[in-house]
Amino acid sequence: MEKFSLTAIARQTLETARATSNGRTAQTVFGGHEHVLRQTIIAMTAGTRLDEHENPGEATVIVLEGRVVLTAGENSWEGARGSLIAVPQARHAVEALEDSAILLTVAKLR
């Protein structure tokens, strides 16, 4: 069994993002590409975007710090700390409205 402090990892990852030229970074905390389930903390500074991309499976976003907006076509969902957003099965993008850290959970479709 492994135990992680998502709060501590989010804080560290956000510090790293603030020091990068593109304003974002990510750290997988569970699973990975060889597993069905993957959980990754993504940190982004205010105004940073994850450009539109496909959803590789069922996915959720939990906002650990800050505020983000997820958009898919004409639809958008804003989340603040503690929010869970179900990612639609459609091309989508994520933007940090303020310095933010999210936990992305993906269960890949086979």
Name which of 107, 102, 58 is nearest 79 in CA terms.
Answer: 102
- Classify residue 34 by its DSSP letter: T
Name which of 104, 100, 107, 93 is nearest 10 in CA terms.
Answer: 100
- What's the pTM value of the predicted model, to 2 decimals? 0.92
* pLDDT score at 87: 94
- Classify residue 14 by its DSSP letter: H
* pLDDT score at 110: 64
* pLDDT score at 1: 76
Give tens-digit pLDDT for 13-69: 999 999 999 999 999 999 877 788 999 999 999 999 999 888 778 999 999 999 999
Cα–Cα distance measured from residue 85 to residue 61, given in angstroms and rounded to the nearest whole number: 5
Who wins on pLDDT, 3 or 47?
Answer: 47
* pLDDT score at 19: 97
> Residue 109 pLDDT more than 80?
no
Task: Find the Cα–Cα–Cα–Cα dihedral 93, 43, 67, 88, rounded to 10°.
Answer: 30
* pLDDT score at 46: 98
Sketch out the chain's domains with CATH numbers.
6-108 (2.60.120.10)
* pLDDT score at 38: 92
